Amino acid sequence: MHKAIVVFEVEGGSDKYFDGHRKDTMPIVNAIRNEGWKSEVVYYRPEWSEALFDYISQNFDGYISRVNPGSIPGGEKGYFELLTKLSDAGLVGMATPEEMMEYGAKDALVKLKDTSLVPSDTHAYYEVEEFHKTFPTSLSYGERVLKQNRGSTGEGIWRVRIADPELAAAVEPGTALPLDTVLKCTEAVDNHTEEFTLGEFLKFCEQYIVGDNGMLVDMRFMPRIVEGEIRILLVGPDPVFIVHKKPAAGGDNFSATLFSGAEYKYGTPEEWPELVEMFNQARPIIAENLGGDNIPLIWTADFMLDTAPDGSDTYVLGEINCSCVGFTSELDMGIQEKVAREAISRIK
Ligand SMILES: Nc1ncnc2c1ncn2[C@@H]1O[C@H](COP(=O)(O)OP(=O)(O)OP(=O)(O)O)[C@@H](O)[C@H]1O
Ligand SMILES: [Mg+2]
C-alpha cells in the first residue's frame, strides 16, 4: 500500500479558484495529508490517459473524482474508461463510473418509485415514440415536471400545465389530451414561461431524448416546492449539512436553482431531525435500488415537502447528485476532514 490518494480535476471552467483548483479541492487534499497520507491533484486530458494510468496505478491506492461530466475534454467516455482501468488495477474509486451513473442519472428517481421516497406515477422516456404516446395521457392527471438527464442548473427541466385552468379542471384523468391543447411551460433555469401546443412541445422535447444518455423523467409537480427544496449533503452514509433552497417568490416560479434567484440557507442535520430520520431509514433502500453497497463518497439528495393524508409533512425525493458535489461555502464545517477519513477508511 502506498497510503496515497489522487484527486482528479479538469483544467479551466468557472468552478475554479485562483490556484486553478475547485475551491474545495485543496482542502480535501490537505485534510488527507493531515491524516498522514499522501495526496495530490492531477488533471485529466484524453491525450494523457496512458501516462495518467501508469503514474496513478504505480503510486496511489484510490482516486477521488472532482470532475463535472459536462466539462470533460473529449467527453466522459474516455475519462470513465480510465477510471474503470484504475479500479481494475486495484484502486478504490470514489466514485466509480458505475456509481456516478446509478446515483447521478435522473432516472434514479424511477428506480425508487416503488418506495415511499418517490411518487409511484414517476416514469422515464427513453424513446421519442414512447414519449409521444404516453405524455398526453400523463398530463391529464395534473401538472407535471419533465426532466432531461443531461445538463444541470435547471436547463431542460420543465413545469408543464394546461394553460386554461377551466379546461384543466374539466379534463377526464386517463384520457389522452388533444395535440392542439395549449400548455404553459416554465423552465427551471430561469423560471421563464412559454406557451406551446401539446404537439409543438412534444416535438420540442425530442432533443432531450435523442443522443447519448438521453431520457426524460416525467414526475408529478409538487406544489409545496414554493416552500423550498431541502438538500442533504452526505459524506458516505452520513448527512453532514443541509441547504434549504427557496425559489424566488411570485409568478410561475418553482426553481430552487441558484441562478434562477432562489434563496439559500445553510444548516446542520440537527436542525432537520424529521427529514434526517426519514432519510436514514430510507438510505439502505436507496442503496438496494441503486447499485448495492457502493455509496458515493460525496453526494446530495434533494427533497420537496408533501402532505400525508393525515395532514402531516412528508418528503419527496427530487434528485440525487454525486458527480462533483461542492461544499465551497461550508469549508469551516469540518467536511473535508470527514471526506479524508471516509476515503482513507474505504482504502483500508
Ligand atoms: N416534481 C417537482 N415538483 C416541483 N418542482 C420540481 C420538481 N422537480 C424539480 N423541481 C424544481 O426544479 C428544479 C430543478 O430540477 P432538478 O433539481 O431536478 O434539476 P437540475 O437541472 O439537475 O438541477 P441541479 O442543478 O440542482 O442539479 C428543482 O430545484 C426544483 O425547484
Ligand atoms: Mg437540482
Tens-place pLDDT, residues 52-111: 999 999 999 999 999 988 789 998 899 999 999 999 999 999 999 998 888 988 999 999
Could you give the dihedral angle defined by the CA atoms of residues 158, 164, 169 and 172, in that order, rounded to the nearest 10 degrees?
Answer: -80
Do both 239 and 212 map to the same domain? no
How far is it, in rounded angstroms, from Cα 255 to Cα 267? 20
Domain boundary among 223, 246, 271: 223
Specify whether 260 is located in the same domain as 322: yes
Check pocket membership of 298 for ligand 1, CB cut-off 6 A: no
What span, in angstroms and rounded, lies between the C-alpha atoms of 113 and 120? 5
Q: Are 204 and 229 within one domain? A: no
Q: What is the rounded distance in angstroms from the CA atom of residue 20 to the CA atom of residue 23? A: 9
Q: Per the structure, how many domains does the chain have?
A: 3
Instruction: Quickly count: other Cβ atoms within 10 Å of residue 125's Cβ.
Output: 23
Q: Is residue 81 packed enough to be buried (19+ CB in 10 Å), middle (13-18) or exposed (0-12)?
A: middle
Give the residue, by CA position, lying nearest to ligand 1 atom 2: 221
Predicted pLDDT of residue 330: 79
Identify the CATH number of the domain in which residue 78 sits.
3.40.50
Q: Is the pLDDT of residue 161 over 80?
A: yes
Q: Is the pLDDT of residue 322 over 80?
A: yes
The DSSP code for 178 is P
**Whether residue 254 sits in one domain with residue 111:** yes
Higher-confidence residue: 256 or 294? 256
| Pair (178, 39) in one structural domain | no
Which amino acid residue places its CA nearest to atom 10 of ligand 1? Answer: 255
> Which residue's C-alpha comes closest to atom 22 of ligand 1?
152
Residue 291 has pLDDT above 80, yes or no: no
Same domain, 253 and 306: yes
Which one of the ligands is nearest to 145 CA?
1
Q: Give the largest CA-CA distance in the chain.
A: 68
Cα torsion 112, 114, 118, 120: sign: positive
Q: What confidence category does residue 324 fall into, taking pLDDT thresholds of 50, 70 and 90?
A: confident
Tell me the pLDDT band of 292, cut-offs 50, 70 and 90: confident
Do residue 24 and residue 64 come from a single domain? yes
CA–centroid distance, 320 to ligand 1, in Å, is 10
The one-letter amino acid code at 248 reads A
Query: How do residues 231-266 score in pLDDT, each as one tens digit?
Result: 999 999 999 999 999 999 999 999 999 899 999 999
Q: Are 205 and 196 in contact (CB under 8 A)?
A: no
Peptide bond into 108 cis (omega under 30): no
Q: Are residues 198 and 145 both part of a single domain?
A: yes
Asked whether 152 lines ligand 1 (CB < 6 A), one says: yes
Would you state the cell numbers that stand for residue 96, as one nine-digit string? 466509480
* Protein residues near ligand 2, an ion, with CB under 5 A: 319
Average pLDDT over residues 272-285: 93
Provide the residue range defining the domain that includes 128. Answer: 123-223
Q: Final residue of a domain: which of 183, 206, 223?
A: 223
